[in-house]
Amino acid sequence: MAAETKKKKQMPHVFVILFFLVAAAAVLTWLIPAGEFDYEAVDVNGTVRNLVVPGSFHYVDSGKHATLIDFLGSFHKGLISGADVMMLIFIVNGAFSMVIKTGAFNSMMGGLLRKFDGKEKFLVPIFFLFFAICASLFGMWNDFNGLIPIMVGMGIALGYDAMFGFSIILLGIGVGFAAALMNPYTIVVAQSIAGIPIYSGMGVRVAIFVVFSAVAVWWIFRYGKKIKEDPSKSLMAGEESLFSFDKEELKKLPMGKKEIATFLVILASLVWIFYGFLRQGWGNTQLTGVFLLMGIVVALIYRWSADKIAREFINGCKDIVFGAMIVGVAKAVLIIMQDGKIIDTIIYFLSSQLEGLPPVVSALGMLVIQTFINFVIPSGSGQAATIIPLMAPLGDLMGLTREVTVLTFQFGDGFSNLLWPTANIAIGCGIAGVPLNKWWKFFLPLFGIFFAIQVVFVVGAVLIGF
């Protein structure tokens, strides 16, 4: 009976959830009329962006009602649309699995464990703040994808689990991106479009960053304490991981010349990646190229044959098929809505519901709408270009400052990146080998806490005339 009850409480498989989300999107193409905004090319801080023309929404006849075949075929289209990110996940994991198979990574984790075992109270916030500050100041997110396997391995090496290490990097990036001080992809673009001074309201943003960072670090420690006291409470219990190794065995592994050489190769690769993203405008293609080279060089240090390199790379790709597929399947939701041309209609309808509401209610409505819209426009600058031209003048009519409008956009776009399967979290889970439904189980209660804090900050901003 107990086992039966436990089974009933279990979250559905992530593909089941995504299947019904795509089905719901297909149904909506029959219920929601197709519509479009007009867009105009505008120079925003030296970058030409297509901004929505306020008041330009109109219905069109060219939207496609999704048939059964369209619905089923959308998964194929989604996989094609998500191919760029899926190949990133395959190649990064294939390359990193070679490093794992050499044993060098285990030795590095063993050295880390010997040095920091029992000192997590210092290690966790240091790593968290590094990721959060970089995301906050420079808008870094995908730049850190290469560090995800390392942080997952660190979480296990310290005697916790993959979720613990994964949460340090993903919550760090996510909180830094959402509660940002100077994020160029969200704050700078949104403030520029809204016509307010760039980086204005810095005092409030510092307070926001500190509060959300403190709550996130507390949540990580809370989870870590729980699984240290009772390992069966680990959300990753029963999950096979590339980083499944024994803590005590790791401590015994030495760091020889080959291991040191491997460490230097990994370090050089990460420095090269950061430089490329920050200075050379790199994307996923260049990231995968560096990781592929890293894996091959490490394999050659251990004198692997060409055939062995090929076999181990393919084995690493096999291990991550599930995570990579999630990205493509989630894309099917957007494919259906784009083909039906209902995304602009939804945005127009939601934004029009705010007219005539009191300022505080309107601001909270903006927060909810921005959070939802990030599901269908999972891009910070893209969402700013679409929604700020609509929300800024609407906020003026409702007595809201444009700072408040930008704040609701910043929150709604940022934190839901850690929630929606169409956003960056699906990529992170794919690289880490952490099932998306397990992440939701870890993150959903925290998202509720985050949302309550967002409400407090938004209401406070309205009341003080921020």
**Per-residue model confidence (pLDDT) at position 244:** 64
pTM score over 0.85: no
According to the model, what pLDDT value does residue 2 have? 46
Distance CA 447, CA 416 (A): 8
Report strand pairing: 58-59 vs 39-44.
unpaired
pLDDT of residue 5: 45
Inter-residue contact 257 to 165 (CB < 8 Å): no
Whole-number Å distance between alpha carbons of 158 and 242: 16
Average pLDDT, the chain: 87
How many residues are given for the chain? Answer: 466
In our burial notation (b when 16+ CB lie closer than 10 A, e otherwise), range 95-129 reads: bbbbbbbbebbbbbbbbbbeebeeebeebbbebbb
pLDDT, residue 174, reads 94
Which residue ranges of the chain lie beneath pLDDT 50? Answer: 1-8
The per-residue pLDDT for 246 is 65
Question: Cα dihedral angle (401, 403, 405, 407), rounded to 10 degrees?
Answer: -150
Q: Is 292 exposed, middle or buried (0-12, 13-18, 19+ CB in 10 A)?
A: middle
User: Which ranges in 103-143 belong to alpha helices (H)?
Assistant: 104-116, 120-138
